[in-house]
Structures are given as structure tokens and as C-alpha cells.
Amino acid sequence: MPFKAKNLKGTRDYSPSEVAKRNYMKNTIRHCFELFGFQPIETPSFEAIEFLEGLYGDEAETLIFKILNSGEKVKKANVEAFQKGDIPSFISSISDKALRYDLTVPLSRYVAQHQNEINFPFKRYQIQTVWRADRPQYGRLQEFVQCDADIIGRKSVLNEIDMLLLMDLIFDKLKLKNLTIKINHRQILEAFISAIGASNQFNPIVIELDKLEKIGLDKVISLLRDLGLNDTQLHDIKQFIAHPDGLENFAKQSTDAFQAYEELQSIKSQFEDLSSNDLNIKIEPTLVRGLNYYTGMILEVVSHENPSIGSLAAGGRYDNLTAKFGLQNVSGMGISLGFERIQILLEKQKEFPENIFNKIKVMFLNFGTPYINKAVGLTYELRLKGIKVEVYPNHVKLSKQLTYANSIGVENVVFHGPDEEKNRIFLVKDMISGKQKSMGYNELLDYFISIQ
Amino acid sequence: MPFKAKNLKGTRDYSPSEVAKRNYMKNTIRHCFELFGFQPIETPSFEAIEFLEGLYGDEAETLIFKILNSGEKVKKANVEAFQKGDIPSFISSISDKALRYDLTVPLSRYVAQHQNEINFPFKRYQIQTVWRADRPQYGRLQEFVQCDADIIGRKSVLNEIDMLLLMDLIFDKLKLKNLTIKINHRQILEAFISAIGASNQFNPIVIELDKLEKIGLDKVISLLRDLGLNDTQLHDIKQFIAHPDGLENFAKQSTDAFQAYEELQSIKSQFEDLSSNDLNIKIEPTLVRGLNYYTGMILEVVSHENPSIGSLAAGGRYDNLTAKFGLQNVSGMGISLGFERIQILLEKQKEFPENIFNKIKVMFLNFGTPYINKAVGLTYELRLKGIKVEVYPNHVKLSKQLTYANSIGVENVVFHGPDEEKNRIFLVKDMISGKQKSMGYNELLDYFISIQ
């Protein structure tokens, strides 16, 4: 019984035309990152599990893909723990590494490990795959690409503005329209949560608030009640969500928060002065970002027309990411673009350029061994000149070969059969115009160089 | 107690200068693949474990990284099997997917799954990461990149020749010298193993023979003895390895094998006629390739000067890769380049071009908020013109800023402090020549465009 060939749920195959689109996107994003002075790094797909713990929040941690210890090591499974219902100990006994969940935590490990080789401010970008064991749904895969840019080792509001301008440039180059950057500040959220007397639960509250768009107000309030918040506190939170314009008032309740509020206002107005494109910016008091590590400005980019795709980019300021590795007071500001979501939106907005697909300049038709052998040497010479060439590998019906040429987008085919050999010529057919042209054996190379 | 920041064994971090080298290599290889008419695809990092089984050989299968089932599913662990010592059943109960071990098996799944969308011959290339739980050593990582090109759905010796020419072009473009392509044919090996009366053990014997260079003749003979081969058979194998010139005689013992031998001779001479570069080709009777799926010509590229790196590329003809999925008689011919090994050799031969590193055209020095703000708007305009620009984010000592500019390879720095502001000028310093030039506010943009 043969297996049914199927890629796993939450993953995707990409065909040649899709890879062409993805390469176009990657090149555009990479180009913008480099214009802003970012340099690329690459880190491994898996890290020690202990590095990934305690940074994303408990719920997110359940979504980390763990790798089973290989070889003899799996024999150390702690089945007693399993039988006692202590699943975490059981898992620790059979797995010590995991696939990366984002690119920020690997970056923090990289910075701590290579601190003596790095010149700070370290401006790095990274375009790599990440994995999350999330329930697959629209715009949410288990394997996807993130494009991250971070400035590490300096705290300056210039970084925040630069990051907004960087996103502005990327979305402009990609020709994506009707997007908004929402910004907020963790210190304002802290002031608010402190004002309702729940500071000690800041992280869990923020994680629940982050679900607002996904699950709605009622469910969020119910989750917050489960955290132990009382009716007065829940009432204040509902008021805050219903009237986000009250942000300034909350901010005034603490010096730090008010400073943060003024910083946001100033960033917004500087961005509006500098940007020449149509990316909107908006201070959004209900924006929280679920990850534990943010400490300053946070941001998210969304599409008005397609909010169901989720955020296209997100990021923020963090102050202690490398603390886990004993490297204190390293502030960073980073953004992360959701590659597959941007791809979905580009498809919807039909903004992929025409010329990104790989065309084959010429294909030699196969009339059998004696005739095709004449072509093989020329083929190699054409390729040395940078011309993309295909040879049909078998002597099958000509109509079949021509159908194939059309299906893969060949621009010209070359006929070299018995008649052509007798006259020592090649017949070249332009597959777009349909025009034919015959030429001597020595002319073919120059012809294709001339029309390249 | 902080964690010690360390990437896992068998994995590597790549710094900006290393990524620049890797991108140069990827672009060169991709360009050559496309000149030969190959189109890119991408497949997921993980596949169902059942797809990966039975194709690589038992030993290789132990090197597949398995992913632990996530969430509630891990509670289905079959601890009874574990306690009875039935480790495979235990593993099956907690893991149903695995990281890809190569790019050929995912390709076979892709071809079977998308057969109705594909135009055959399907010429695809794929440059992606693969993972193997091998003991890390020189030239052997647990995570590495393979660059594969395969022609699927046709059987024609033109494919074999094209693949050899493709490798010839790639290694020539990369300027790698003193390489040899070794070729052999599985049907000749079959004839030999049949001649010594051991046909029923073909796959296990080939897997042991493949270790010849790694562990030496004595150990291979001992492993073959463990397989049950008798003294006469072992003697014949020793003779064969000691006198590979006897290949032709063995080949004559079977019609299929002799045909294969003649095919190899013809491929070799056609390759020598067509290739303009210095890649040597050699028929190597002891070349076996350990993977189970090869059926025809096999090949391997090695460096004379650095044999310890291992093979830089390998591949061959396979006839039944999609049979597992019920798609019969799909023949393919493929090659796979070992990206990290090629990188090691390029480092050794010092053949990375100078101009592949990312230079920052201009960095604005920071003299404090009022002075740097003048620059921020210009920065954005310069970037819109395609010029790579950096702004130093903080007002720190100038010497520190200049040291930083040098360390990241900035070509020009711009001074705009109190003096410059008074005179409404920028002072531009060329960091290579040391020459300085002052210019009015309006001249800066044009200046950098003119020297771009």
C-alpha cells in the first residue's frame, strides 16, 4: 500500500513561481535593511531549551518544537516522572534542544557569546525560518520566515524613528497600500496596570490583553477574572479599552509614563515629517504585544483591508534581553516582519512585478542522438555567456516538446533535424511572436548574445 | 547564576562577513543552476517520519532528528514498550515527524504530491538546510546547507553529461582548483557483487564499502565479515579494491554491466570534449555511494589537496524514488553540493572576491540632538536614492564614533557640529584617503549620488 504524499499540516511547499515571488520579497527587504546600515547574521535552527525558557511567557513556551535526543540518549527517558504525571520532567529527560521560536532570543545568545568580536551599536538583520506548534490557520503556519532587524547596545530615540522609517521604506518598495503602524509604550501600560493595583501581575495581564483582537473582549475579561482580578479592576480595564483616548490621563499618573507618552508623540510627529509615503501612524493604547521581553516603545503594522491576516510586522524596545547570559544593561530595538503574511497581502493586492519569473532563453528540440549532439557543445558555450539554456532530453514527438517549452516559459526553440543538418543550419523560432529565422551553424551563438 | 551563551555542538553562528561569503556562494550556485534551466522549489523542514524510512539505509536512519509531538500528544508515550526495551515503538509513540535528512526524499514527496501540476522533465533546484545527528567533526556539521539540482521524469544520458558540465561550471565560477569528479555505475557494482555470489546483500555491502576512505580497508573487511561474507568473497573484494583496473573484466560478466561500463566511458569522453575548465574526471570502481536509492551512474567530487574535507558534491541516477508514493517508473538524475565544505575549501584557497562585503557609504557623526536632527531627513533621502547610510545613535566621544565607523567599514563620515552649523555646511571625510571636503547643506545629496 503506497503512502499518500502530503506535506505536514502547518507547512507548505513552494513551487518555482512562488519561490520567484519569495526571492523578490527577500531581495527587496534585504536591500532596505542594508540601506539602513544593517548587516546579516545567521544562527542555528536549534538552541538549548534552557535558553528559550522564561522569555516568551508560559503559553508561548508550549508552542516550542522540541527535538528528541538521538541515539542512546533516548534510553534515559524518565518514565517514572511520566507515570507520576510529571510531564515536564519526562520531556526534559528526552529532549535538550528545540527549534527556534523567533530570531530575537537567538540574537541575544549571539550577542552574549560574541560580545568581544562585536562593535556596538550592533545593527544586525536576519532572514530565517522559525517554528511554532500553533494550530494552523489563515496567515499562521507552523513553519514561517521572519525578517528581523535589531539595533543592539544603544538607547536612543533615533533608533525608534529609524525603525519606523525602515518599515515605511520596505512597505513602499513592496508597493503595499493602506497599512497602519500602531505604536504604544510598555511604561504607559505599566502605569495603567499599577493604577488599578495589579502591578504584580503585569506580564500575565498583558498576555491576555494581547488576545483582544483574536478572541474578543468578553473572553479576555473572563481570562483576566481567572487571573484573580476583581470587578473594579475589570471595570477599569473595560473602560480603558472602550475609551483609549483616556491614555494621556493614565500616563499623567506617573512621571515615567508621561515621559513615555511624550516620547511617543514626538516619534509620531518626526515620523510624519520625514516619511514621504502613505504609511499611517497611530498611538494605540490597547496595543500590548504578548512577549515578556519588551520594556519600551512597542509597534505593530496591520492592513486595514485585511485585518484577518494578523500583524505584518511587529517589534519594540527591550532592555534586558542578554541578562539571562550575565550581560547586563544591553538595550535593543528591533522589528520583525512576517514574511508569509506579507506574501499573502501581495497576492491579494496583485503587486508582484511581472519580470521576476525565471525565463529560459532557448531550448534545443531533440530530433535524436546524431542531431542533438551538435547542440550540446553550443549549449555549454551559450551558458558560459550567461544565457539560460535547456536541451530536451529525449527524442519524443515534436508537439510534446513544444508543449513543454510553452509550459515552462521558453522564449525561443531551436530546430536541428535531418533537413537542417543537410543545409548545415539551425531554425530558431521565437515562441512569443511565432517568427522563425534560419541561420548557419556559426551564427547561432552571436545571435543569442545579440538578443540577450 | 547566568547561562553560558553557547551555540549547540554541530551548529555554527555566521557573522556578517561570513554571511557575505555564503551569499556570494549561494548566488553563484543559483546562477549556474538557472543557466542550465533549473527552477527553484522550497519544501518544509519537517516531513512525516514514515516518508524518510527505508530509503537511506538503517545506519543513516539513526541520524534523523525526530521532533517530539507537542502539547497533549506527548501523553500518549508508550512507556510499556520502553520498559520492555522496545525503543523504536516508544519513539513512534512520541514522535511522528522529523527534520529532513536530505533534499532528495522531500523532492520525491513533492513530485508525487504535485504530479498533475508539474511539466516533466521537471528540472528543479533547491538550496536549503538539512540536519543529521552525526558526530560533529571537521567538515561535518549537524546542520548544513545542501544545493541540489535534479532532472526528474526522463532517462537520457544527456542528463548525466549536463550534470557533469553543471558542476564543472559551478566550480569554475567559484575558482576552485584541483578537483576531480569520480564516476561509477551501480550496475557494475551489482555485477561484481553478483559475481562473488552476494547479490542478496547488495545494499548492506555497498553501505560498508562506502566507508573505505573513512575507516580503512581492514575495518571494512571486518564489517563485511560480520555481514556473513566468507573468506573467498572477502578475498575477491580485497582484490577488486587493490586492482580497480580490473573493472572492465568484471563488467564483461553481465550484459547490463558492460553496457553501463560503455556508458561511463562515453560520458567521460563527451565531458572531456566539452569542458573548457580544469575539472578532472575519473572512472573509480571503488566509488559506491552509501544511499540505497541510486540505480545508475553515481558521482562524487573531491579535492586532491584536501581530501579530509570529504566529498564536495555527490549524486547519481535513481529510478524508483517516487515508488513509495505509488508513482512508478519515474527516473531521476541529481547532484547535491555540500555548501559548508565548499566554503571551507574557498577559505583555504583564498578565493573569495574582495567586493562581496557590504560597505556603508556614509555615516553621520552624532554631535547631540540639535545637530543630528539636521541629518535625519537627509539620511532618508539618501537611502531613497539607494545609498547605504548609518547614523551614530548617541552623542559620545568623537574618537569612539570614528573607531566604530572604521570597524564596520564605513567609507565616508559626515561632521555636523556647532562650527558646521554656524557656517551651514557639512564636512565630509573620506575614511580611506583621509581627505576632507566641506559643502553646503544642499550639496550633500548630490555629492553622494555623484560618487555612488
* CA nearest to B18 within chain A: A41
Burial of B249 by CB count in 10 Å (0-12 exposed, 13-18 middle, 19+ buried)?
exposed
Comparing C-alpha atoms, which of A92, A145, A128, A99 is closest to residue B100?
A99
Q: In this structure, are residues B315 and B298 in contact, taking their beta carbons and an 8 Å threshold?
A: yes
| pLDDT tier for residue A267 given thresholds of 50, 70 and 90 | very high
For B440, list phi and psi in degrees, rounded to 5. Answer: -65, 160
Mutation to test the A interface, candidates B373, B383, B397, most A Cβ within 10 Å: B383
Q: In this structure, are residues B338 and B146 in contact, taking their beta carbons and an 8 Å threshold?
A: yes
- Least confident among A437-451, B156-170, B288-302: B288-302
Q: In this structure, are residues A48 and B9 in contact, taking their beta carbons and an 8 Å threshold?
A: no
| pLDDT tier for residue B401 given thresholds of 50, 70 and 90 | very high
Q: What is the pLDDT of residues A316-362, one digit of tens each?
A: 999 988 888 989 889 999 999 999 999 999 999 999 998 898 889 99
What is the pLDDT, as a whole number, of residue A275? 86
Most confident of A57-61, A184-188, B161-165: B161-165
- Of chain A, the percentage scoring pLDDT greater than 90 comes to 68
Mutation to test the A interface, candidates B25, B33, B38, B42, most A Cβ within 10 Å: B42
| Alpha carbon distance B135, A240 (integer Å) | 57
> Is the pLDDT at B139 greater than 80, yes or no?
no
Pairing of strands A389-391, A360-364: parallel
Mean pLDDT across the stretch A281-305?
A: 88
| Alpha carbon distance B239, B300 (integer Å) | 23
Q: In this structure, are residues A217 and A317 in contact, taking their beta carbons and an 8 Å threshold?
A: no
> Is the pLDDT at A258 greater than 80, yes or no?
yes
Chain B residues with CB-CB distance to A71 below 8 A: 62, 133
Give the number of A-B residue pairs with CB atoms closer than 8 Å: 291
What is the pLDDT, as a whole number, of residue B127? 98
The one-letter amino acid code at A317 reads R
What is the pLDDT, as a whole number, of residue A256? 82
> Is the pLDDT at A249 greater than 80, yes or no?
no
Whether residues B37 and A154 touch (CB distance < 8 A) is answered with no
| Alpha carbon distance B101, B5 (integer Å) | 27
- Of chain B, the percentage scoring pLDDT greater than 90 comes to 69
Q: What is the pLDDT of residues B231-283, one digit of tens each?
A: 999 998 888 888 766 767 777 778 888 899 999 999 999 999 988 777 899 99
Q: Please state, as a whole number, how many other Cβ atoms lie within 10 Å of the Cβ of residue A216.
A: 10
DSSP label at residue B18: H
For A175, list phi and psi in degrees, rounded to 5. Answer: 65, 35
* CA nearest to A4 within chain B: B325
Mutation to test the B interface, candidates A4, A13, A372, most B Cβ within 10 Å: A13
Beta carbons within 8 Å of B270's beta carbon, 6+ residues apart: A376, B161
DSSP label at residue A194: H
Q: In this structure, are residues B51 and B324 in contact, taking their beta carbons and an 8 Å threshold?
A: yes
Kind and range of the H or E run holding B41: none
* CA nearest to B61 within chain A: A71
User: Which grid coordinates belong to A406?
Assistant: 510553452
| pLDDT tier for residue B165 given thresholds of 50, 70 and 90 | very high
Burial of A31 by CB count in 10 Å (0-12 exposed, 13-18 middle, 19+ buried)?
middle
Q: What is the pLDDT of residues A360-403, one digit of tens each?
A: 999 999 999 889 988 888 998 999 999 999 999 999 999 999 99
| Alpha carbon distance A316, A333 (integer Å) | 6
What is the pLDDT, as a whole number, of residue A78? 94
**Average pLDDT of every residue of chain A:** 91
| pLDDT tier for residue A277 given thresholds of 50, 70 and 90 | confident
Angle at B306 between CA B57 and CA B340, to 5 degrees: 60
* CA nearest to B151 within chain A: A393
Minimum-distance CB partner of B158 among A68, A120, A372: A372
Q: Is A283 helix (H, G, I), strand (E, B) or coil?
A: strand
What is the pLDDT, as a whole number, of residue B422? 94
Minimum-distance CB partner of B390 among A37, A46, A79: A37
More confident residue, A114 or A274: A114
Kind and range of the H or E run holding B283: strand B280-283
